[in-house]
Amino acid sequence: MEGPIIGVICFFGVLTVLLVGKIYWHVIYVERAVGRIARQLGVDVLSPGVLSDQVKEIANDPDRKIEAIKLFREETGAGLAEAKMAVEQYIRSVKS
C-alpha cells in the first residue's frame, strides 16, 4: 500500500516543480516585455535614483556589475530580474 502512495506523492511533487518553473519563466517573460514597452514609450520603470550610493559606486565598475545587483537585492528585497533591470538602467544612464 505504501508503494502507490509514495508514487503519487512523487508524481505531484515533480508536477509542482515543473509548474513552478514554468510560472517563473512566464514572469520573467512578462517583466522583460513590460521593460521593452516602457523603453519604447520613454517611461522609466525604475528610476536610477532608487540605487544607493554604494550600489552606484559598485555599478560604475563593469567587472562588479553582479556584485551591484546582489547588493541592490539585499538593500531592497527586489527580485533578480528587477535588480538587474535597475542596475543596468543606471549603467545606461551614466554612459549616455
Per-residue DSSP letter, 48: G
Rounded to 10 degrees, the C-alpha dihedral 31/37/41/44 comes to 10
> Are the C-beta atoms of 80 and 73 separated by less than 8 Å?
yes
pLDDT digits (tens, 9 = 90+) for 24-65: 888 888 878 887 887 788 776 655 457 899 999 999 999 999
Model-level pTM greater than 0.75? no
Q: Is 85 helix (H, G, I), strand (E, B) or coil?
A: helix
Place of cell 544607493: 52
The whole-number average pLDDT for the span 62-77 is 92
Residue 60: DSSP 8-state: T
Q: What is the mean pLDDT of the chain?
A: 85
